[in-house]
Each structure stands twice: as structure tokens, then as C-alpha cells.
Amino acid sequence: MLLNYKLNYMRLKDKVAVVTGSSRGIGKAIAIKLAKEGAAVVVNSRKKESAQKVVDEIVKAGGKAVAVEGDVSKAETAKKLVDAAVKGFGSLDIFVNNAGTITYANFLDLKEEQWDALMDVDLKGVFLCSQAAAKQMIKQGNGGKIINISSIAGFIGFHNLPHYCAAKAGVIELTKQMALELAPHRINVTSIGPGAIQTDMTKQLEDDPKYLKQILARIPLGRLGQPEEIANVAAFLASDESNYITGETIFVDGGWLTF
């Protein structure tokens, strides 16, 4: 679907953003939304061809974007993403830590290597990328926005997801700490906690009608969320409209956490 730039508010005109894990799902929706709002976007994936497809969609619609391959659990990838923004578009104003992975295991059966693999991406990656982004934003002297994608799983427990819940809770607390330390540099740090969003990662819900019915029964709005609904919140947090918000997690969950 092509983007309609002419009808858009363009809240992020002349801004430069990086979105990790943005070749599909929530990350892709965020990258496209930020581009639609006027930002030049660095699209990231472990596979460059996957990221390039999103770049092609943005460019075809009149936006600016570049693809960067890399694993966010590696410090060199964090640096590469920041360098791509600065060298390609002149600055770094927005960094969205979206890249994540999920695996399932009962607490008693969870292997050390499963714990480490998930933590490396879902929590360590947020730390590495945020640190690299913040240093560049401080160097520029104009402040910036760092947005972390957490989950309602960082606030409540889920069966067979002990490592995922721990990582996402860590993202929420890291967001608070970063907000505290980076506030003097006019860098706002926030996180978004999605609920059940219709993506490849939740496809199993649609494949199991009984389980889907149980999930929907927990959601007051009675439906799964769409990636674009997370992207809309990310665009707000990336814009000047959110300049007095920092350290907060906004849960976008259809009301799941209300009971």
C-alpha cells in the first residue's frame, strides 16, 4: 500500500530516525509511519534484502530511507546504524528499539542458551543501540527521542515466557533509568507496551480458534491490535507533541491491563 504524503501532517519533517527490526510487523509499520510523517528512516533487519523491500516501499511513496543489515545484540551493529543515519541523512534525531525475538519454554525446562539468546536481542540490544544513539544525540546537542518497544509481558506474567517477560520488564526499567540520566541532554526516553497485536509472531493465535477466543476474552475492546496502532503512538512519541513525556511506558493493549 502506497503512502499519501500530501494529506499528512508531516510532524517529523527533516528528522532522521532509525528503527531496528523493521522489515516486518510492528517495526515495519513504525518505519513507514515515521517516513509518512516526513522523517528519513534507517530500516534494519538481519537480512538486508528484507530491509530493502521496506526501503523500496518508502522511496516509491516519496520518502527517504536506507537499509542496514545487522544483529542488534552486537555493538558493531549499533554503531553501524547510527553511522548510517549520520552519513546518509546528516543527523540522528529518533531511535526506535523495536528488534525482538520470542521463544517458548516452561520455567523449569528453560535452557541457559535460550535465556541468553533472547536477552541478547530483547534487552542487551536495547542497551547497546540506545547508548550509541544517545552519544550521537549528545554530540549533536539538539536532544532527541529514544523509543523502546516493550510489552504487556513486561508488566504481567505469561505461561512459558519467563525469559521474555523478564526481558520486557527490563526494557521498562531501563527506559526509566535512561530517561533520568539523559534528561539533562534533552533526550526523551519512552517505551510502548503492545498487547496482542496481529503480526507474524502472533499468527499461532489465529491458527488456534480456542486459544484466540480465550485471548479476546481478556481484551475489553474484543479484538487484536494492528501494527499501525503501535506505529501511531510511536510517531506521537517521536514528535515535538510529546516533549514533556519521558520515562513513561504507554500500553497499547485494547484494555488488557484494566483487569
Output the CA angle 232-236-238, nearest 5 degrees.
Answer: 115
CB 163 within 8 A of CB 110: yes
Strands (E), the chain: 16-19, 40-45, 65-69, 94-97, 144-149, 187-194, 249-252
CB 115 within 8 A of CB 38: no
Task: Output the CA torsion 155→20→175→192 (10° steps).
Answer: -50
104 is catalytic: no
Q: How many CA atoms does the CB half-sphere of 180 hold within 13 Å?
A: 6
For residue 257, CA distances in Å to 61, 157, 251 come to: 37, 12, 8
Lookup result for grid cell 511513496: 61
Question: Which one is catalytic: 104, 164, 211, 244?
Answer: 164
Name, in order, each residue with C-beta under 8 angstroms of 99's C-beta and a sequence gap of 6 or more.
20, 21, 27, 44, 72, 121, 125
Task: Tell me the torsion sign for CA atoms 77, 122, 150, 194.
Answer: positive
Other beta carbons within 10 angstroms of residue 72's beta carbon come to 25
d(CA 245, CA 248): 7
As annotated, the active-site residues are 164
